[in-house]
Amino acid sequence: MQPLDGAMPIEVRVGSVCRPGGTAFDDASAQEDIRSARETLAKMTAAGLFSLRNEITYEMEFHLTSAEAWAAFLARPKAGPVERDQDLVDRALASEDGRVVVLETGAAGAYELPDR
């Protein structure tokens, strides 16, 4: 499993109301790590060292329900810029039924060794 290189949308939810809240990015070194790992795996597969059985993409939701959880997200390793409506985020986190949801798209593959 590996996140895909790209933006992570941020949604702000209060009750049943959902609004776009911004976008989060990983820093350049994290993005390069993701690209490099995918390129290496593609080269190894092309060279016949592995064969791809199945690959899926998925979306994970990170539900942040407190200011502390939001601060921890902002301070995560290899965090990049976060463009957000901070007032909207603050209002949601102050609400009993509010949350900030960060969506991350990733990919997972099942590989096997080729028959020899």
| Three-class DSSP category at 31 | helix
pLDDT higher for 92 or 54?
92
- Please, are residues 7 and 76 in contact by the beta-carbon 8 Å criterion? no
How many whole angstroms separate alpha carbon 59 and alpha carbon 52? 21
Residue 103 has pLDDT above 70, yes or no: yes
Let me know how long the chain is.
Answer: 116
**What's the N-to-C CA distance of the chain in angstroms?**
27
Residue 57: strand pairing partners:
107
Report CA 52 to chain centroid distance, whole Å: 23
Q: What is the pLDDT of residue 96?
A: 94
Among candidate residues 57, 60, 64, the one with its CA nearest the CA of residue 21: 64
Average pLDDT over residues 74-85: 92
Q: What is the pLDDT of residue 109?
A: 83
Average pLDDT over residues 92-102: 96
* pLDDT tens digits, 48-73: 888 888 888 889 999 999 999 999 99
Q: What is the DSSP letter of 1?
A: -
* pLDDT tens digits, 2-56: 666 678 999 999 999 999 999 999 887 777 877 888 888 889 888 988 888 888 8
Residue 109: strand pairing partners:
55
Average pLDDT over residues 88-108: 94
How many whole angstroms separate alpha carbon 86 and alpha carbon 48? 49
Q: What is the pLDDT of residue 116?
A: 64
Q: What is the pTM of this model?
A: 0.77
